[in-house]
Amino acid sequence: MATATLTPAKVERPLAALKPSKKQEIIANLNTALATNLDLYLVAKQAHWNVKGPNFQGLHALFDTVSDAAREYADLLAERAVALGGMAMGTHHDVSSHTALQKFPASERRWQPLVKAVHDRVLKTADQARDFGGGLDDDIATQDIYVEIIRGLDKWAWMLEAHLE
């Protein structure tokens, strides 16, 4: 009878081979994306709370779903920054200083301007994730997080856009 020999698995740690400057750039981008996603979370929640119009129930629920998704994306980004040896920078000051999003029309209640405003910000957040996720062949785990975010944001953009047609 043949005997099996167990060979210990070799675990590759490509991040250990990353130059410190590249790792710091990845962490900085994760924190910028964190700020943008936290801003999107707040923007969508603001729209959720204040929307008025004939499709109130549907938009109220959609804005809440977008808000929840952005919060989950922010958590993924923050945890990845820390896993890479950085700090997650998600305070109000960090968000307002580093978000890629324009100021939201906080006093708006009408459904069409709110859908347009949230839609524009979802697209901008997805574009940022595309920019940061590109060129990360040496850190596919971080790239995968960005891909997950893009996939979700593209879905929410499509759903919001359907209300504008």
Instruction: Choose among 104, 101, 108: nearest CA to 51.
Output: 108
pLDDT at 70: 98
Mean pLDDT of the chain: 93
CB 142 within 8 A of CB 135: no
For the chain, percent of residues with pLDDT exceeding 70: 91
Q: What is the pLDDT of residues 4-60, one digit of tens each?
A: 666 665 544 566 778 889 999 999 999 999 999 999 999 999 999 999 999 999 999
pLDDT at 103: 97
Cα separation, 52 vs 54, whole angstroms: 7
**What is the distance of C-alpha 97 from the center of its chain?**
17
pTM of the model: 0.90
Domains of the chain: 25-164 (1.20.1260.10)
Q: What is the pLDDT of residues 117-138, one digit of tens each?
A: 999 999 999 999 999 999 898 8
pLDDT at 137: 87
For the chain, percent of residues with pLDDT exceeding 90: 85
Cβ burial, residue 97 (10 Å; 0-12/13-18/19+): exposed
Backbone φ/ψ region at 154: left (φ over 0), alpha (ψ -120 to 50), beta = alpha
pLDDT at 163: 95
Cα separation, 100 vs 45, whole angstroms: 18
Q: Is 107 helix (H, G, I), strand (E, B) or coil?
A: coil
Instruction: Choose among 66, 68, 44, 73: nearest CA to 156.
Output: 66
